[in-house]
Amino acid sequence: MSVTQPIRNISEIEKLKNYYYLEKPNLRNYALICLGINSALRISDLLELNWQDVYDFTKKHFLKHIMLKERKTGKQTRIALNQNALKALQLYKSGLQQINPTDYLFPGRNRANHLSRSQAFRLIKTAGQELNFETDISCHSLRKTFGYHAWKSGAQPAVLMNIYNHSSFQTTKRYLGIEQDDRDQIFLDVNL
């Protein structure tokens, strides 16, 4: 069994997003991937979001933050919505006929229920396979991808630990595959 990895290559992230935007158009799936990569939320928390969690129906604009109680940890969290997440949500919303505040953001076939974890897993796994990604990806890859690229961009380890609710940086490093990257670089540098 392989371990789910973050998507390290920016061009692969773009390919994954474009898979459901251009190749096999599905704005719900596109928004799910964009929000997943840009929020670091667990798939269980993403799937339980309602439209009112991201959109103010009174003022008719998207919120600046998602505020929720994490299902796994029970902790309150506040996540800023960046430009790419907002763009995907705006595109998704513009393609829908009617939405209600309590509608699931990512509904399943039966609109009364949200997309299931297994459905989300299949849609992400399928895209990765069809795009010939080198490593296995899954729902958790979206969460890991955020942290990996935040770390590569200079995010402080303590902040990433806080985002992920990890008790040590060692856990965060393993989670993001940073230790393997360090090992790989040594093998590439010692080019005898």
Residues identified as active-site = 42, 72, 140, 143, 166, 175
Q: Does 2 score more than 70 pLDDT?
A: no
Query: Domain residue spans in the chain?
Result: 10-145
Report the alpha-carbon distance of residue 152 to residue 167 in Å, rounded: 20
CATH of domain 10-145: 1.10.443.10
Output the average pLDDT for the chain: 93
Residues 6+ apart with CB under 8 A from 22: none
Q: For 32-45, what is each residue's pLDDT tens digit?
A: 999 999 999 999 99
Answer for the pair 23, 29: CB distance below 8 angstroms, yes or no: no
**Is this prediction's pTM over 0.85?**
yes
Q: What is the pLDDT of residue 24?
A: 94
Q: For 49-94, what is each residue's pLDDT tens digit?
A: 999 999 999 999 999 999 999 998 888 999 999 999 999 999 999 9
In percent, how much of the chain has pLDDT > 90?
Answer: 76
Q: What is the pLDDT of residue 3?
A: 77
Q: Does 1 score more than 60 pLDDT?
A: no
Instruction: Write the DSSP string, the chain.
Output: -PPP-----HHHHHHHHHIIIIIS--HHHHHHHHHHHHH---HHHHHT-BGGGTEETTTTEE-SEEEEE-TTT--EEEEE--HHHHHHHHHHHHT-S---TTSBSSB-SSTTSBPPHHHHHHHHHHHHHHTT-SS---HHHHHHHHHHHHHHTT--HHHHHHHHT-S-HHHHHHHHTHHHHHHHHHHHH---
Name the band, by pLDDT with cuts 50, 70 and 90, for residue 176.
confident
